[in-house]
Amino acid sequence: MAAQDGGKSEVGVNSSPALKPKDWVLLSLRLVALFATAAATIVMALNKQTNTVVVATVGNTPVKVAVTAKFQQTPAFVFFVVANGMASFHNWLMIVVELFGHKIDYKGLRLAIIAILDMMTVALASAGDGAATFMAEVGKNGNSHARWNKICDKFHAYCDRGSGALIASFIGLLILLIINVMSISKLLKPKHTYIGVP
Amino acid sequence: MITKTWKMIFTLLLRLLALTATLAATLVMVTAHDSTEVMNFTFKAKYSYEPAFKYFVVAEAIASGYSLIVLFLSSKNSFSRLVMILDMVVAMLLISSVSAAMAVAYVGKKGNIHAGWLPICGEVAKFCNQATGALISGFLAAIMYLLLLIYSLHDTAYWMS
């Protein structure tokens, strides 16, 4: 295979623009991951619920106070939105690079850069998911030892939307993990033939 | 020029550091407890009272067991791909557990005024300090694992290019 390019090794510039079937699998996985993380970001970023609570009754008119639950009130959810936003950006960037970036010379490090970036995104997304999951768990069940009341019985829609965003981000994280494993195995497999190296 | 033995020593050192960090995190979190008497009821704090801290302890324990096992078979080359993938899974586990525990610890320290959750670190300071120590150790362990992964990837890529 080294003689096909006239002696030029394949790791410099990728001359063939056509994608092989295995690349289509990776590309479609990245697309699904993009949708999942983008959905998680958007659903959590728009997560807000306002309840009006009757606090007191003055004469005949009840005094109402509006109590709002927003995602910005919990730092873990803010981190969740940021992490999933960055994961979506990474997925989008990888898709663009895969489709349109064949002319750029990566000096042979293309697979390594992709694998390392994938790994960093998996780390970020898993951190965001972990924090948001357990904060949601405290919100759902409360913590009787710390005297923290649950809030999900008063803000049903907020909790439901939050759970939806969490599930979407779990799916995105799982697919990101699969993509990362595929990138790493592409890196470790000796696909290129090297002149003189066993 | 870095020879193969230096690379092996560096990887071994990173794994050893990760093992110490995960072990320390597990032990310090498990032994953290405190109790105070506040207005007629006892306020107790243990790691098992909060699911995020339980997840933290379990994840760090799994990671330290895994580190110990891999330390003993890091010279065999046939497992290297499996070890790299398992390294990534364990790194993900560690990062998510540290993040989850930190999120809850933040509420414990600062409270969440919108949800009506009061901070508890004023009452059970000893538990809070030990939990902070465990979290720092867990965070260092996660960084060690990430360094290990990036180093192995860079090492393989450098060799391949």
pLDDT in tens, B4-15: 788 888 889 999
CA distance A151 to A158: 10
Reference B157, options A198, A187, A185; nearest CA is A187
Chain B residues touching A129 at Cβ < 8 A: 96
Q: What is the dihedral sign for C-alpha B124, B130, B133, B138?
A: negative
| Tokens at A12, concatenated | 């410099």
pLDDT higher for A78 or A198? A78
Instruction: Report chain B residues touching chain A, CB-CB < 8 A.
Output: 44-45, 49-52, 55, 80-81, 84-85, 88-89, 91-92, 95-104, 106-108, 112, 114-118, 120, 146, 149-150, 153-154, 156-157, 160-161
pTM of this prediction exceeds 0.90? no
The tokens 């510039």 sit on which residue? A13
Q: Where are the alpha helices (DSSP H) in A46-148?
A: 75-100, 110-141
At A25-79, the pLDDT tens digits run: 889 999 999 999 999 999 999 999 998 888 777 778 888 888 888 899 999 999 9
Amino acid at A158: Y
DSSP H or E stretch at residue B109: helix B80-110
AA identity, residue A43: V
Residues B83 and B74: their CA atoms lie apart, in Å, by 9
Rounded to whole angstroms, how far apart are CA atoms B17 and B29?
18
Please answer whether residues B117 and B107 qualify as being in contact, where contact means their C-beta atoms are separated by less than 8 angstroms: yes
Could you give the CA distance from residue A194 to residue A9 in angstroms, rounded to a whole number? 8
Provide the token pair at A4: 């096909």
Q: Predicted ipTM?
A: 0.89
CB contact under 8 A, A127 and B161: no
Contact between B81 and A75 using a beta-carbon 8 Å cutoff: no
Whole-angstrom distance, CA of residue B76 vs CA of residue B127: 42
Q: Which residue among A108, A151, A188 places its CB closest to the CB of B115?
A: A151
Q: What DSSP assignment string belongs to B14-69? A: HHHHHHHHHHHHHHHHHT-EEEEEETTEEEEEEGGGSHHHHHHHHHHHHHHHHHHH
Would you say residue B18 has pLDDT above 80?
A: yes
Phi, psi for residue B141 in degrees, rounded to 5: -60, -40
Percent of chain A with pLDDT over 70: 85
CB atoms within 10 A of CB B23: 19
| pLDDT exceeds cutoff 80 at B32 | yes
Q: Using 50, 70 and 90 to split pLDDT, how confident is the model at A24?
A: confident
Residues with Cβ within 8 Å of residue A159, at least 6 apart in sequence: A136, A139, A140, A151, A152
Please name the member of A73, A116, A130 whose beta carbon is closest to the beta carbon of B112. Answer: A73
